[in-house]
């Protein structure tokens, strides 16, 4: 992930200080790649990187963060701001039903996400929505809307294969008469943007004056989604975007590009085929995802859950008393293993634990080696590593199928822990092992 790469970039720069122009430039090289990999358009990446470089250069590195974390923090903040720092809403009609036009290319997810949105509006805002079948070109489209509407128990208005503009008008009349305070117009799509489709949508817009025109785009289509957004916005004028299929592999760089090129906000995201899988857009979550750190937040949460406070307190006590043994070291590593990617975790934890892990035991392989070595020691040796002379080391190495150098490496890491212990007993706990890990 990006945070690992940045940690590597900043290996030599530990602790406090200021970010120099060169540091930031180096980090931005990684950020740039991460963004391009996430399908953010080249032009947007270029502007973004130059803006963030300017802001980050000379910035203080907070005590509780590593330089890598500091850069990620700034990048994250700027990206969040660029995508809109508040959650977007639908602008509701002052009187009569709120009319929402769902537009977009074929297969983008208009029909399903129109229904999902209707469900969300009812759930979260107590709306009584009506779905209107204005995609008349394929009979299957009307049937599909009736099926999804039926599953959510949301009424569907249809007039068969009539004129879509007329159907939209009739649907709104129907809504007024039947107490529906919101109408979602499911419109037709095409494989590509074409004039005929735009004309129909423009006529519909002129006839019904929608409160919102929401463009539905498929996140998996990357740059095509951005091009579609520009085309629809120029021809029709859109108010916002529904970015669908974010449950797939797409990192969602389209969100950043769409916002940057059209200036129109992403308002909702589709996160699965099921009809409740739609969410309000959260720029901060999206930023993490685009940066390839989508797991970071859940990762921290997981770490916090897994990490037993009591055990931490005990460990801290031992550290303070300089009685931290290899057995404790082993127990601690085992506990960490349950959390997945250790190096990522290390980079995110300020204080004792993070420092210990950084550059020390990082990958699973090394962890297994460490485990094997400690398991080859007798309990006496684990409690008293100072007794480990050449012959004991040889026996241990043979016992776990490794070399004496491997045993020495582990002991060196352990020694780092001892140094830390000394710092701790002088009261320099930093973030603290018993404290919160953020
Ligand atoms: P339309 O042609 O724009 O009306 O697109 P549809 O609503 O018919 O959706 C096309 C396909 O995408 C359908 O199979 C949907 O189930 C699927 N789909 C829509 N939104 C999502 C989503 O957020 N995640 C996933 N995995 N599939 C989605
Ligand atoms: Mg459809």
Which residue puts its alpha carbon closest to atom 13 of ligand 1? 109
CATH 3.40.50.300 fits 98-285, yes or no: yes
Which residue puts its alpha carbon closest to atom 16 of ligand 1? 273
What are 227's two structure tokens? Answer: 């091009």
Decide the pairing of beta strands 240-244 and 266-270: parallel
Q: pLDDT value at position 309?
A: 57
Question: Nearest-CA neighbor of 213 among 91, 119, 113?
Answer: 91
Query: Among the atoms of ligand 1, which is closest to the Cα of residue 244?
Result: 23
At the fourth CATH level, the homologous superfamily of domain 299-425 is: Signal recognition particle, SRP54 subunit, M-domain (1.10.260.30)
Q: pLDDT value at position 311?
A: 62
Cα separation of 71 and 31, whole Å?
9
What are the residue ranges spanned by the domains of the chain? Answer: 2-82, 98-285, 299-425
The kind and range of the H/E element at 418 are helix 404-425
Q: pLDDT value at position 300?
A: 37
Is residue 240 classed as helix, strand or coil in its secondary structure? Answer: strand
On the 0-12 / 13-18 / 19+ scale of CB atoms within 10 A, 427 is: exposed
Decide the pairing of beta strands 60-61 and 17-18: antiparallel
Q: pLDDT value at position 298?
A: 43
Tens digits of per-residue pLDDT, 150-192? Answer: 999 999 999 999 999 999 999 999 999 999 999 999 999 988 8
Question: How many H-runs (helices) and E-runs (strands) does the chain carry?
Answer: 20, 10
Q: Which residues of the chain have pLDDT under 50?
A: 14-16, 295-305, 307, 348-351, 359-362, 427-438
Cα separation of 118 and 183, whole Å?
9
Look up the pTM and report it: 0.68
247 among annotated binding-site residues? yes
Q: Is the CB of 137 under 6 A from ligand 1?
A: no
- Please give the CATH topology (third level) of the domain spanning 2-82: 1.20.120
Place of tokens 């776990």: 400
Q: pLDDT value at position 276?
A: 94
Q: pLDDT value at position 228?
A: 94
Is residue 353 classed as helix, strand or coil in its secondary structure? Answer: helix
Which residue puts its alpha carbon closest to atom 6 of ligand 1? 109
Question: Nearest-CA neighbor of 315 among 426, 420, 438, 388?
Answer: 420
Q: pLDDT value at position 10?
A: 62
- Sorted by sequence, the CB contacts under 8 Å of residue 408 that are 6+ apart come out as 393
Please tell me the number of the ligand nearest to residue 133's CA. Answer: 2
Distance from the alpha carbon of residue 323 to the mean position of ligand 1, in angstroms: 59
Q: Is the CB of 107 under 6 A from ligand 1?
A: yes
Residue 276 CA: distances (Å) to CA of 7, 117, 214, 252, 263: 38, 9, 18, 20, 28
Question: Best of 105, 106, 112, 120 to mutate for ligand 1, by most ligand atoms within 8 A of CB?
Answer: 112
Q: pLDDT value at position 350?
A: 44
Query: Among the atoms of ligand 1, which is closest to the Cα of residue 104?
Result: 3
């Amino acid at each position: 992930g990006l945070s690992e790469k940045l940690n590597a970039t900043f290996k030599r720069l530990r602790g406090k200080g200021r970010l120099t122009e060169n540091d930031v430039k180096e980090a931005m090289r990684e950020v740039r790649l991460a963004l391009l990999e996430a399908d953010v358009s080249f032009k947007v990446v270029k502007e973004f990187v130059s803006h963030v470089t300017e802001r980050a250069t000379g910035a203080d590195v907070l005590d509780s963060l590593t330089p890598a974390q500091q850069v990620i923090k700034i990048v994250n903040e700027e990206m969040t701001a660029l995508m809109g720092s508040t959650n977007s809403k639908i602008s509701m009609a002052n009187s009569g039903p709120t009319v929402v036009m769902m537009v977009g290319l074929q297969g983008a997810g208009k029909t399903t996400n129109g229904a999902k949105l209707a469900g969300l509006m009812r759930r979260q805002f107590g709306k009584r929505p009506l779905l209107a079948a204005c995609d008349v070109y394929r009979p299957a489209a009307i049937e599909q809307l009736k099926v999804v509407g039926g599953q959510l128990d949301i009424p569907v208005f249809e007039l068969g294969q009539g004129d879509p503009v007329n159907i939209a008008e009739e649907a709104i009349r129907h809504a007024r008469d039947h107490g529906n305070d919101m109408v979602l117009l499911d419109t037709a799509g095409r494989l590509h943007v074409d004039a005929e489709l735009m004309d129909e949508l423009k006529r519909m817009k002129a006839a019904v004056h929608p409160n919102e025109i929401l463009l539905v785009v498929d996140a998996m289509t990357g740059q095509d989604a951005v091009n579609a957004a520009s085309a629809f916005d120029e021809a029709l004028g859109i108010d916002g975007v529904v970015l669908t299929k974010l449950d797939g592999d797409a990192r969602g760089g389209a969100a950043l590009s769409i916002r940057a090129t059209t200036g129109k906000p992403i308002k909702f995201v589709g996160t699965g085929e099921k009809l409740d899988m739609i969410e309000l857009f959260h720029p901060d979550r999206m930023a993490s995802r685009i940066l390839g750190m989508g797991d970071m937040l859940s990762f921290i949460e997981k770490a916090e859950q897994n990490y037993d406070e009591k055990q931490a307190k005990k460990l801290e006590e031992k550290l303070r008393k300089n009685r931290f043994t290899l057995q404790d070291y082993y127990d601690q590593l085992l506990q960490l293993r349950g959390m997945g990617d250790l190096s990522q975790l290390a980079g995110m934890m300020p204080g004792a634990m993070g420092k210990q892990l950084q550059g020390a035991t990082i990958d699973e392989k090394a962890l297994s080696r460490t485990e094997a070595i400690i398991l080859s020691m007798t309990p006496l040796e684990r409690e008293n590593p100072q007794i480990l002379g050449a012959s004991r080391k040889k026996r241990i190495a043979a016992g776990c199928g490794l070399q004496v150098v491997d045993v020495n490496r582990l002991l060196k890491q352990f020694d780092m822990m001892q140094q830390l212990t000394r710092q701790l007993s002088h009261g320099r706990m930093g973030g603290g092992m018993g404290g919160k890990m953020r």
